[in-house]
Structure 1
Amino acid sequence: MTDMAELPPEPTGWLSDRELKHVRSELPILYVNAVPVRIDARGEVTEIGLLLRADDDAIARALVAGRVLYHERIRDALIRNLEKDLGPVALPRIPLSPTPFAIAEYFPTEGFGPLHDSRQHAVALSFIVPVDGDCEPSQNALDIVWVSPEEAASDEVAQDMMGGQDVILRQALAHCGVLN
């Protein structure tokens, strides 16, 4: 039998800032994106929640997004990141086995693809998540604004989105059948 002192320490899932910077320079990082929605009794999308974040001295709209930690299930990463950005009583409805509607690739080189993240090459599984509770943004989200599907599809909203996330938003709207 192995002595407990010989076992490696239990991983926390978090990297130090230095370690994360190094890993981001060498490997794609796995993320989840979530498009929070309100739905009516028929299951049709009535509103889309967009975060307001401070970005380079400007306010920009963004989707809920965050890393998947080591040994973390996708479902748990979604719940953690939704709670981090929308607050603990947002009451997201995540299926037992979530399936993304799209896979997004963010590149550190602007113009390489429609999505850009200057810090890293990232791959994000993108989900549409109905939210039933009260949302009180936390962490680095300043606020959440609920907009109609038509407004979410507008050029004005697209211009305000961070890193090309309007592409993911439009894919979500099309997936829900609310974008012609």
Structure 2
Amino acid sequence: MSDTTVEAGDGWFEPDELAAVRRRLPILYVDVVPVRVDPDGVIQRVGMLLRTPRDGGISRALVSGRVMFHELIRDALARHIDKDLGPMALPRIPVTLTPFTVAEYFPTPGITAYHDARQHAVSLAYIVPIDGDCQPQQDALDIGWFTPEESVSPMVQADMVDGHGALVRTALATVGRLV
């Protein structure tokens, strides 16, 4: 065993370090399907960000991002929701942190429904009710709220990136709202 102490720092790798890690190890992410629910907890709307993806153009995506070193899953969810939807989103992060699915992203298309050309990533996916006003932040241009039927329509699904459309379908199926 080494006597070397590793400092946790801020939990982020430098870009060249991250590129090296991405080539060798799966990275842990969280994906969030933001929803509006009625008083009985039934999903009425699904939120999707309008973004400019890495490869250009405009597409729809879910709230998503890495879990930092030494960060609780609950904190990662809150941080990414705040980063993408703004501080007034007022999310109701689930009491139990059991994801509705685990998405495995691969750099090679076709292994699973999920693809990330940069890396092999494993994502814990959650449905999170949003009670407040959303003001998209950072690289998001807007957020659209779709009925469950609209969110799985071919037109909306065609705009989704990296398998996020499959996550929306799985989320809705999990709660009995897939049409």
Deviations 1:122-171 (A, max 9, x none): 00000000000010010111110001010001111111100121111100
TM-superposed CA distance for 1:97, in Å, is 3.1
130 and 24 in structure 1: CA distance in 2 versus 1, 3 angstrom threshold: same
Identity %: 55
* Alignment-derived partner of residue 159 in structure 1: 158
Greater CA radius of gyration, 1 or 2?
1
> Which residue identity does 1:149 align to in structure 2?
P
For residue 25 of structure 2, the aligned residue among 24, 27, 30 is 27
How many residue pairs match? The answer is: 175
Taking the aligned partners of 1:10 and 1:29, their CA distance within structure 2 comes to 17
Taking the aligned partners of 2:177 and 2:112, their CA distance within structure 1 comes to 25
Deviations 1:30-54 (A, max 9, x none): 0000000000111111100000111
* Alignment-derived partner of residue 117 in structure 1: 116
Taking the aligned partners of 1:168 and 1:9, their CA distance within structure 2 comes to 35
TM-score scaled by length of structure 2: 0.94
* Alignment-derived partner of residue 40 in structure 1: 38
Taking the aligned partners of 1:90 and 1:66, their CA distance within structure 2 comes to 17
> Which residue identity does 2:26 align to in structure 1?
P
Q: Which runs of 5+ in 1 are unaligned?
A: 1-5
> Which residue identity does 1:9 align to in structure 2?
E
* Alignment-derived partner of residue 47 in structure 2: 49
Contact 1:37 1:131 in 2 (8 A): yes
Mapping 1:58-77, distance limit 5 Å: 58-77=57-76
TM-score scaled by length of structure 1: 0.93
SS class of match (2:52)? strand
SS class of match (1:116)? coil
* Alignment-derived partner of residue 3 in structure 1: none
Mapping 1:128-167, distance limit 5 Å: 128-167=127-166
Runs of 4 or more above 2 Å deviation: 6-11
Q: Which runs of 5+ in 2 are unaligned?
A: none
> Which residue identity does 1:23 align to in structure 2?
V
SS class of match (1:112)? coil
Mapping 1:74-85, distance limit 5 Å: 74-85=73-84
SS class of match (1:145)? strand
